[in-house]
Amino acid sequence: MVTREEPGPGLGEEAAHHAAYLRFLRATVLERCGSLPVAEQRRPHVPSGWTPLELLDHVAHVERRWIVWGFLAEPVSDPWGDWWRGDTATRWHVAEDRTLEDVAADLRATVARTEEVLATTPLDTRARTGGRFGPATGEEPPDLRWICFHLLQEYARHAGHLDLAVEVAGGPTGE
């Protein structure tokens, strides 16, 4: 089991708190998914039908959509790749040949970008246009602070989902 500690109050700047809590919540979802045998990572444990590995892949795509494609406006080959054939009306999907290690490596690559952005960019900086936001999409670019809060709620909500799924699968209980 990975040792995780909730960040304390003495981190200084607001961006440091965002970065620390994102690290904590990422470690939580990785630990929860990794606590299951491979077969249980790919099996649905809740009525909505998602699997723990699909949820992990989903949060990796979410962070990439919001930071790389959204905030930085960089091209992303398949921003909706967590959905079956890119169709957001369907449920999440992970190809059979992808493992927990593959999904975790994708997440870590995005995390490196997020950490760099949070270390070098003021939180009130608006997302660039041209990726997820701008005239073509009709969406107003949010600032980095809002994106961080969105990612925090996304990870926190899904960490709770994984707690339940892992417990139902017979794995260790969460907090």
- Residue 85: what pLDDT? 66
Q: What is the pLDDT along the chain (175 residues), one digit of tens a residue?
A: 344 677 877 767 899 999 999 999 999 999 999 999 999 999 999 998 899 999 999 999 999 999 999 999 999 988 888 877 656 666 788 999 999 999 999 999 999 999 999 999 999 999 999 888 877 777 789 999 999 999 999 999 999 999 999 999 998 886 6
- What pLDDT is attached to residue 118? 96
> What pLDDT does 3 receive?
47
* pLDDT of 91: 77
Closest of 1, 26, 18, 7 to residue 104, by C-alpha:
26
CATH architecture label of 14-168: Up-down Bundle (1.20)
Predicted local distance difference test score (pLDDT) of residue 1: 33
Residues 6+ apart with CB under 8 A from 127: 70, 71, 72, 73, 133, 141, 142, 143, 144, 147
What gap in Å lies between CA 66 and CA 131, rounded to an integer? 10
- Domain chopping of the chain, boundaries: 14-168
Instruction: Give CA–CA dist 151/22, Å, rounded.
Output: 8
The reply to whether the predicted model has a pTM over 0.85 is yes
